[in-house]
Amino acid sequence: MAGYKGHLAGATAFFAAYGTALLYAASVEALAARYSQVELIGYPLGLFGLCLMFGLWPDTDTDSKGQNFFYTIFFLIDVVLIATQRFEAAAYLGLFAILPALGPHRGWTHSWWAMLLVPAPLVVLPYLFFPERPLAGLPFYGAAVTGYLSHLFMDGLVKKWLQKAR
C-alpha cells in the first residue's frame, strides 16, 4: 500500500508508458503538425496532470491528501455554481462528491469497474457537446484510467485480481 507520494510516483511511471504510446500514435498519424507549440506543450501537461489526479482519486474514501485535494476543488466549483445561481448543478455536484465517503476504505473506489466508470464523463461529455469530434475526450479518458490503474496497481489490487482470474 503506497502513500500519496508513492501513488504520484506510480502515476508518473504509468503516464510515461501512456504518453509514449500517445506520441507513437501521433507520429504515425502525423497529428503533431496540426497543433501549435503551446498545444504541443499544454496538451501533454494537461494529460499528465489528469493522470496524477486520478492516481490519487481512489483514496477520496478516506482521510488523505487526495481527499483534501478533490474536496477543495469540489468546494470551489460549488461556490462558483452557487454564486452564478446554478443551484441544480451545485446540488448534483454535492450529491456525487459525497459518494466516495459512503463506502469503506478500499470499497467501491478501489474496484476495476470504478476505474472505468468514474472517468467516463471525460469521454461522454465531449462526445455529447462536440459531436463533430466524437473521440476528442478519448486521450483524457485514457490518462484518467491510466492514473486510476496506477493507484490500484500500487495498492496491490491488480495482482490480486490476476491471481483470482487463474
8 A C-beta contact, residue 59 and residue 7: yes
Flag whether pLDDT at 147 surpasses 90: yes
**Comparing C-alpha atoms, which of 58, 68, 165, 50 is closest to residue 110?**
58
Residue 71, all three cell numbers: 474536496
Tens-place pLDDT, residues 2-48: 788 999 999 999 999 999 998 888 777 676 677 777 888 898 999 99
Task: Give CA–CA dist 110/103, Å, rounded.
Answer: 10
Residue 166 or residue 65, greater confidence: 65
- Look at residue 3 in the predicted model and tell me its pLDDT: 86
8 A C-beta contact, residue 119 and residue 143: no
- Look at residue 32 in the predicted model and tell me its pLDDT: 66
Tens-place pLDDT, residues 109-139: 999 999 999 999 999 999 899 999 888 899 9
**Average pLDDT along the chain:** 91
- Look at residue 1 in the predicted model and tell me its pLDDT: 65
